[in-house]
Chain A
Amino acid sequence: MSAKGAAKDVNAEAARWLERREFENWGEADEAELSAWLAQSWEHRVAYWRLKDAWEHTGRLSVLRPSAPQKTEAPASRKPFRPMLFRIAAATVVIAALGAGAASYYLKDDAPRETVYTTQVGGHQTVQLADGSKIELNTDTVLRARVSAHERLVTLDRGEAYFQISHDPKHPFVVMVGDHRVTDLGTKFLVRRDNKNLEVAVTEGRVQLDTPDGRLQAPVLLTRHEAASVHDNKVFVTRKTALSLTNELGWRHGFLVFDHTTLADAVAEFNRYNQGKLVIADPATARLTMDGTFPIDGISAFTEVAQEVFKLRIERHGEKIVITR
């Protein structure tokens, strides 16, 4: 039996742990301290679990965007609305862990010097190149970089990467993806290679997309917020909103963001990052659409929403998780 009013104090203490974990640089020592506190009693544990779950709820769903009339006035409008940002702090630890564990790179000693960077399924790695450019590799990606005083060439063999290039007109930064060439014209952009398909999206500046020998297509110039997808050597250019681009780049912070996304697409996204594979049993279920923000490895949170919001059934068959009606 605990003392009268003890629960209030324990709850407040649990909330302070969560607050610290949310706002402060959370290290191993903090984690150990928290574990010790949790180990003290069941009262501590249940209080912490309960508040932690509540806090996770607030982050999991993007519908939390403030409804217009309640929005705080002038000060809040100083910054553009950026829904992904809040996850940065929480996700930093995760990313660091994944990056260190999953990624490996080695330098070939024979000329020309080429560095290969790889990430495993679920991995994420940020690479700082000698020229000051930065490349972020998403899950299951293979990328080769050759950066010297004379050339800046990156080949994306597989996967997805986000490029933040320090511009140098004399030495254009080139990304090769199969036959296609993406040439930086001062910019931040995303390149994704997925079987035969290629997608390029520009968040800042401009890039040029073409094939070096001119055999397949004429150069296409993409500016900010434009995206090109290439299927069967046909190029489709679309304009994206800043928000949809931010959502597409959610993986940089360890999150998947769905906005009117079909379950089929959501499942395909999760499957890029996880070993356990999700399968949708029927086409009607695949067409349901959803909003939400999930950690990249949050399959359990996702199946929970499928069960509880869509009333779907989840069946496990070994590595496969089948979603049915």
Chain B
Amino acid sequence: MVEKFETSRGTGLFKPGAPMAASEVEAWFVREVLPMEAMLMHYLHQNWRNKSDIEDLRQEVYARVCEAAQKEVPEKTKAFVLTTARNLLINRVRREQIVPIEAVADLDELEIAIDAPGPERNVMARDVLRKLQGALDRLPPRAREVVTLRRIEGLSRPEIAERMGISEKTVSEHLTNGLCALADMLYGDASDLRGKP
């Protein structure tokens, strides 16, 4: 059975405690959860030493959070995201047997972190334009060129390939890699969090 997912973004208010339609989960995720990414990444980096696990952990937090939200919209997104992350880390520690000492130590302090006043929802949206330009500037030059030629000049894949003197396959690779890097910078970059309570 193929589930159908709407691609439109709703602006409806999400009622805590109520179930969501599949299409609403995407809108909720984009509006409520993605803006927490910098905070989540900061938390994961602080509490998990193996950096190569971080991307997996982030993805799994998102998946579990959305799965739960479909059944019941959480009242406080931030607390919900962090609690999910903490539980995930604890389960990993238990399962993996080899316990990273630092992780355990930090986990104890987590309750406090959740309740403490943190950066408000959406550090990113505070200045979408500046952030976007900054992210674009930091892309590898070839990836930036592909994104720019596509987004600003509207060139097709073969046109970009010709313009840059590379194969179409390479154009695709630059775009997909660039997009992943761009998303990491847009959502996950914690530099805005530093120096804030």
Residues of A near any B CB (own CB < 8 A)? 1-2, 4-8, 10-12, 15-16, 18-19, 22-24, 32, 35-36, 38-39, 41-43, 45-47, 49-55, 57-59, 61, 63-67, 70, 72, 75-76, 79, 81-89, 299-301, 303-305, 308-309, 314
Whether A46 pairs with B63 at a CB distance below 8 angstroms is yes
* B72 interface residue per 8 A CB criterion: no
Of A6, A11, A58, A314, most B-chain CB atoms within 10 Å: A58
How many B residues face the partner with a CB closer than 8 A?
Answer: 62
* Smallest CB gap from A20: residue in B: B172
Q: Which of chain A's residues have a CB closer than 8 A to the CB of B4?
A: 35
* Smallest CB gap from A314: residue in B: B11
- A305 to B11, alpha carbons, bound, how many Å? 12
* Smallest CB gap from A7: residue in B: B59
Q: Which of chain A's residues have a CB closer than 8 A to the CB of B38?
A: none
* B34 interface residue per 8 A CB criterion: yes
Pick from A11, A38, A47, A87: contact of B3, CB below 8 A. A38
Which of B78-86, B103-111, B130-138 contacts its partner?
B130-138
Q: Which of chain A's residues have a CB closer than 8 A to the CB of B43?
A: none
Whether B128 pairs with A2 at a CB distance below 8 angstroms is no
Interface of B is mostly: helix
Chain A's nearest CB lies how many Å from the CB of B63?
Answer: 4
Whether A5 pairs with B56 at a CB distance below 8 angstroms is yes
Q: Which of chain B's residues have a CB closer than 8 A to the CB of A304?
A: 11, 31, 125
Given contacts A15-B179, A50-B62, contact A86 B151 (CB under 8 A): yes
Pick from A5, A18, A59: contact of B151, CB below 8 A. A59
B 40-99 contacts with A by CB, 8 A = 52-53, 55-56, 58-60, 62-64, 66-67
Q: List 29 A-B contacts (CB under 8 A).
A: A1-B60, A2-B59, A5-B56, A6-B56, A7-B58, A7-B60, A11-B59, A11-B180, A12-B180, A18-B176, A18-B179, A19-B175, A19-B179, A23-B150, A23-B172, A32-B2, A38-B3, A39-B2, A41-B63, A42-B62, A46-B29, A50-B62, A51-B179, A51-B180, A66-B152, A76-B163, A82-B153, A89-B156, A309-B125
Chain A's nearest CB lies how many Å from the CB of B154?
Answer: 3
Chain B's nearest CB lies how many Å from the CB of A14?
Answer: 9
- A203 to B4, alpha carbons, bound, how many Å? 42
Q: Which of chain A's residues have a CB closer than 8 A to the CB of B153?
A: 76, 79, 81-82, 85-86
Q: Which of chain A's residues have a CB closer than 8 A to the CB of B60?
A: 1-2, 7, 43
Whether A45 pairs with B186 at a CB distance below 8 angstroms is no
* B145 interface residue per 8 A CB criterion: yes
Chain A's nearest CB lies how many Å from the CB of B24?
Answer: 12
With contacts A54-B183, A64-B148, A75-B163 known, what are 8 further pairs, Cβ within 8 A?
Answer: A19-B176, A39-B1, A53-B34, A55-B179, A63-B132, A76-B153, A308-B128, A309-B127
Given contacts A35-B5, A86-B152, A301-B9, contact A61 B128 (CB under 8 A): yes
Whether B137 pairs with A70 at a CB distance below 8 angstroms is yes
Q: Which of chain A's residues have a CB closer than 8 A to the CB of B11?
A: 299-300, 303-304, 314
Whether B154 pairs with A42 at a CB distance below 8 angstroms is no
